Amino acid sequence: MTTKNTLPISEARKKIFKIAEEAQKPGNYYTFTENGRPKVVLLSAEEFESWQETLEVMREIPDLEERIKKAEKEFERGDYITLGELLAKQGYILADKGKNKYGGEKNEISTNRSKKSSKRIR
C-alpha cells in the first residue's frame, strides 16, 4: 500500500527524523511543498533505487509490456519448453539426484556437455 504524505517544507524541517523513519516503510513517501506547490519528494533509498532500476529496464526494453503479454499468451497455449528441455537441447544433462526436502524431484545440472547423442535428461 502506498502512503503519500504532503506537507510544507517548513513543517517537514521540524519533523525530519520522524519523516525519514516513516519513509523507510515500503510504499511510503513524502511530498514537500513550498507556497502550496510540490517542491520535492522524499522516499527511502531502497525505493529510489528500485525506481531507477525500473526506469532503466523500461529504457532498455521499451516494448517490455508487449513482450510480457505475448509470453503470457504463449504460456496459456502451452507454447513453451521447460528449463530441463532447454538445457537438454543445448547438450546439458539433467541428472536425477533423488528427492528434495519437500518431496519433489531434486535435480542437478551437469556442466559437462555431452559429446554425442547422449543429449538426454535423466
- On whether residue 94 sits in a domain, the answer given is yes
Count: domains in the chain = 2
Segments forming the whole domain that contains residue 14: 3-43
- On whether residue 76 sits in a domain, the answer given is no
Half-sphere exposure of 7 (CA within 13 A, CB side): 13
- On whether residue 20 sits in a domain, the answer given is yes
- On whether residue 99 sits in a domain, the answer given is yes
At 93, phi and psi to the nearest 5? Answer: -110, 130
Give pLDDT tens digits for 50-93. 999 999 999 999 999 999 999 999 999 999 999 888 998 998 88
User: Is the entire prediction scored with pTM above 0.75?
Assistant: no
Distances from the Cα of 5 to the Cα of 33, 40, 58, 101, 102, angstroms = 11, 12, 27, 46, 44
- On whether residue 70 sits in a domain, the answer given is no
Average pLDDT, stretch 18-23? Answer: 96
From the list 2, 70, 4, 84, the residue with the least C-alpha distance to 38 is: 4
